[in-house]
Structure 1
């Protein structure tokens, strides 16, 4: 399949509920395509799952069964006020719950930024559920200080100036998504958060586990496609390159810029599609078991 070809695929919105000591939380997802070549795509920090619509359709058009998930605190999933609800490990456990819900024994798990870290965490806590990994701009050792500087003001604003967060939310909600460019709509959705859940979200990520440590990462045996960007202080290419060097089955792909996969996605869509299809080339015969 070339980058210019388009194949229409089915799209379905679904939901699942995850239980915890806090109670019951609702997660929403979208399925593209059908079959047993499962792929799960995870969004970046505070972003909605539809940021991966284009890639999901490209993969589904090539024969994959793709699911984009809004983890807790993202998009149309629940947004509790409890910081304990938000951590990379919690998000990874939600991916495993999604696979159980779908009856998928394994999936290629991919994500961007925070989603990349969650994909790595899924491979660390449930390696038998991961067929492969697509990791775009992970936030690892070289990026933590910049991430703290970038997002600490967000936490402070949500705590001490909640009216500013609520006011911004009211302004962005008034903008019809159909009249603005697609990525502008994604940006508007990213800031559509109430101050309480927003503060809990950032607090939970700051003080929780942000990614598997090196000792755990080095044990990841699944094939991995690592995509890094030049001139991106929050997601240094050095982190992505080092990750690819640390793991025996990882391949590094350098993007032209942080905007390439956003504005000119054809090349990287094709790279990711080839990787995913290769992960599923030799399928096993394990049965799928869908929960009632």
Structure 2
């Protein structure tokens, strides 16, 4: 999905005083979409996040993402912990999502490789729908399927044949404050993965969404949870009082 899927949350965090930057990873939104499968991996995406921090001159940031973005967030925290003030992870795709992920994304790879005209035809139709006349989330969905067959196949290929998240041993060594949000009844992003991750991270809080659509249709509760977490990551640590002997 393009970065504007997080526009509402970004505005909420910014209104609370946070400096918020959203990005389109390679292959997403307005970023380049090369045909090379080796250009796409969780590792490469994490490197792009760190490169953006370098470009902005930001020594540290609270890193966050949804689904693929959640996994990229974990990779950044595992490989560049000194740049991470905290992590906000929604719907991670880990061990319990493996079978559904294969069933969901393998047909995309097959279609893009064997039936590229189907991908091109869908893109031809969706690009002609004016985004201004459809609901905001419908526009996000239309932008999500706006792919040429070559880059789409390369994208799925690259993710399939690379590791999708840091292994459990690395995840347990992530000490940054973490907010993990899981959804019930979501086979691609099972709540069991989010709960497992929250149990692995030594400094984490788990928040269960009421449904997969809560943060999209009624975002007030989770926006408040996320805002408190992000602002809390920047509060100075309390000094312990010294007692006189």
Higher normalized strand content (fraction of residues): 1
Could you say which residue in structure 2 is the equivalent of 1:117? 71
1: distance between equivalents of 2:236 and 2:8?
26
Specify which of 224, 227, 234 is matched with residue 181 of structure 2: 227
Specify which of 182, 193, 199 is matched with residue 147 of structure 2: 193
Given the alignment of the two structures, is residue 151 of structure 1 paired with residue 72 of structure 2, yes or no?
no
Gaps of 5+ in 1: 1-46, 284-292
Could you say which residue in structure 2 is the equivalent of 1:9? none
Specify which of 47, 50, 63 is matched with residue 96 of structure 1: 50
2: distance between equivalents of 1:197 and 1:166?
11
Greater relative contact order, per chain length (Cα 8 Å cut-off, separation 6+): 2
Secondary structure of 2:193 counterpart: helix
Q: Shift in Å at residue 117 of structure 1?
A: 0.2
Q: Deviations over 1:56-100 (max 9, x none)?
A: 000000000001000000000000000000011100000000000
Could you say which residue in structure 1 is the equivalent of 2:233? 279
Secondary structure of 1:118 counterpart: helix
1: distance between equivalents of 2:160 and 2:99?
11
2: distance between equivalents of 1:272 and 1:204?
31
Note the 1:249-288 alignment, pairs <5 A: 249-282=203-236
Secondary structure of 2:12 counterpart: helix
1: distance between equivalents of 2:48 and 2:227?
24
Q: Shift in Å at residue 209 of structure 1?
A: 1.3
For the pair shown, the structure with the greater C-alpha radius of gyration is 2
Q: Deviations over 1:102-121 (max 9, x none)?
A: 00000000000000000000
Given the alignment of the two structures, is residue 167 of structure 1 paired with residue 93 of structure 2, yes or no?
no
Given the alignment of the two structures, is residue 204 of structure 1 paired with residue 166 of structure 2, yes or no?
no
2: distance between equivalents of 1:263 and 1:166?
31
Gaps of 5+ in 2: 238-245
2: distance between equivalents of 1:88 and 1:69?
15
Secondary structure of 1:71 counterpart: coil
Given the alignment of the two structures, is residue 55 of structure 1 paired with residue 25 of structure 2, yes or no?
no
Q: Shift in Å at residue 144 of structure 1?
A: 1.2
Total equivalences in the alignment: 237
Could you say which residue in structure 2 is the equivalent of 1:132? 86
TM-score by length of 2: 0.96
Could you say which residue in structure 2 is the equivalent of 1:12? none
1: distance between equivalents of 2:209 and 2:3?
21
Higher normalized helix content (fraction of residues): 2
Q: Shift in Å at residue 193 of structure 1?
A: 0.3
Q: What value does the CA root-mean-square deviation take over the aligned residues?
A: 0.7
